[in-house]
Structure 1
Amino acid sequence: MDDGYLQRVPRADGTLKTLTLVVYALQALSLFVGVTAIVGIIINYLKRDEAAGTEWQSHFAWQIRTFWWAVIGFAVSWPLILLLGLGFVTGFAVWVWYVYRIVRGFLAFNERRPLPQ
C-alpha cells in the first residue's frame, strides 16, 4: 500500500562516523590549506539531517559552530591588522581557539562522547 509518503532509510552509523572524522580532518587541514574548511562545512550541512537523533548530531553542530565562529573571528581580525596591528593578536587567539575546538571535538569523537550544545 502506498500512502504517498517516502520512507526515510537511516544511514548506517559507520557512514556518519566516517563523515564526522573526515570533517575534523578537513578542519585540521584548513590550518594549512583554508579551503578544506569550506568543504567540511558543506559536508556538515548536506548530512546534518541524517545525523539528527544520532550520537553524531552534537559533533555536526560543534563543527558548524566552530567554522562560523572562526570565520567571524578572522573577519574581525583582518581589519584590526590594518588599523592597529591588534589583528595579529586577535587572529592568533582565534587560531588557538580553532585548534582547541578541533582537538576537543576529535577527542570526544574518539571516545564516542557527545559535545555540549
Structure 2
Amino acid sequence: MRDLTAVVYALQALSLVFGLTLIAGVIVNYLKRPEVAGTWLESHFDWQIRTFWWLLLWGVLGLASAIVFVGLLILLGAAIWFVYRVVRGWIALNDRRPIGPH
C-alpha cells in the first residue's frame, strides 16, 4: 500500500499539468481507505483527501472572486499550499513516517 500512496502523491503532483489526475487520486484514496485503516499510511490517505477537498474549496473561492484581483491571489496561495502539501507528504512517506494533521 506504500507504493499506492506514492502513486496518489504522483497523481496529485501531475495534476499541476493534467488536472484530472487529482480526481483519480482522491478516488483511489476513498476506494483503498479501508485497507490502510489503523496503519501509519492512514494518516497519508487522510492528508491526501483533505488536500483535495481544501484545494477544491480554495479553487472555487479563487475563481469566484477572480473578477477582482484578490481571486488571483487566492489561486496563487492555493497552488503554493498544494505543492507544499504534496512535497511534505511525499517526504514523510519516503521516510516511512505518518504525516501530521497540519
Question: What is residue 88 of structure 1 aligned with on the other side?
Answer: 72
Of 78, 86, 94, the residue aligned with 1:110 is: 94
TM-score (norm 2): 0.96
Unaligned runs of 5+ in 1: 1-15
| In structure 2, C-alpha distance between the alignment counterparts of 1:28 and 1:57, rounded to whole Å | 20
TM-score (norm 1): 0.84
| In structure 2, C-alpha distance between the alignment counterparts of 1:58 and 1:28, rounded to whole Å | 18
* 2:56 corresponds to 1:79: no
Cα offset, 1:74, TM superposition: 0.4
- TM-align CA RMSD: 0.7
- Which has more helix, going by share of residues? 2
Task: Look up the SS of the partner of 2:65 in the other structure.
Answer: helix
Cα offset, 1:86, TM superposition: 1.2
| In structure 2, C-alpha distance between the alignment counterparts of 1:59 and 1:81, rounded to whole Å | 32
Of 45, 53, 66, the residue aligned with 1:60 is: 45
Cα offset, 1:54, TM superposition: 1.2
- Deviation digits for residues 39-76 of structure 1 (CA, Å, limit 9, x no counterpart): 00000000000010112100000000000000000000
- Which residue identity does 2:93 align to in structure 1? F
Bigger Rg, which one: 1
| In structure 2, C-alpha distance between the alignment counterparts of 1:18 and 1:116, rounded to whole Å | 19
- Which residue identity does 1:100 align to in structure 2? Y
Name segments (4+ residues, structure 1) moved above 4 Å: none
Cα offset, 1:24, TM superposition: 0.1
Task: Look up the SS of the partner of 1:112 in the other structure.
Answer: coil
